């Protein structure tokens, strides 16, 4: 996909324009994925994975994706948290995702279409460094990271 198409896609969704857009793999913690990533960036990706899993479970039960309020009220995130603790996984507890800033330096936003057929989640980095990545996911389950235009890498 060309940078123009990426930019257009981001503008259509109402997300601030970001230059570098890369897809993270589905297997957390691989050497390639974690090279240069900070602990809070890895926590952001793990948090988005928890939301993707919760949305999938909600859709399997209700036929639509949930708003953030519906997802929190369904206790699916609580169940995921219990599963994570039982496995001894290092993901942050899903309950932390209830806060506006669940991971220090990141702001959580969840958007669901009015008919429940789509959703978009962002964890935007708002630290003073404009070149730190923010993270996004949607109903495809793909997690993307983006940095501001002019930043290298990402």
Express each pLDDT in 15-71 by its tens digit: 333 333 333 333 444 444 555 677 788 888 888 988 999 999 999 999 999 998 898
Model-wide pTM > 0.85: no
Nearest by Cα to 23 from 154, 120, 150: 154
Strands 134-138 and 21-23: unpaired
> Alpha-carbon Rg of the chain, whole angstroms?
15
Q: Phi/psi of residue 95, each to 5°?
A: -60, -25
* Three-class secondary structure of residue 126 per DSSP: coil
Angle 19-23-24 from CA coordinates, rounded to 5°? 130
- CA dist., res. 51 & res. 31, Å (int): 23
């Amino acid at each position: 996909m060309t940078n123009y198409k990426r930019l257009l896609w981001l503008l259509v969704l109402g997300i601030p324009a970001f230059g570098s857009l890369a897809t993270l793999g589905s297997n957390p913690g691989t050497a390639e994925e974690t090279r240069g990533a900070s602990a809070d960036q890895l926590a952001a990706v793990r948090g988005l994975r928890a939301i993707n899993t919760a949305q999938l479970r909600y859709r399997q039960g209700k036929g639509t994706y949930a708003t953030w309020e519906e997802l929190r009220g369904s206790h699916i995130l609580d169940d995921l948290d219990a599963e994570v603790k039982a496995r001894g996984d290092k993901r942050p507890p899903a309950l932390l995702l209830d806060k506006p800033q669940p991971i220090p330096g990141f702001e959580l936003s969840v958007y669901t279409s009015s008919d429940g057929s789509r959703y978009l989640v962002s964890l935007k980095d708002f630290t003073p460094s404009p070149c730190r990545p923010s993270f996004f996911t949607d109903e495809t389950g793909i997690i993307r990271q983006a940095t501001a235009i002019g930043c290298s890498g990402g």
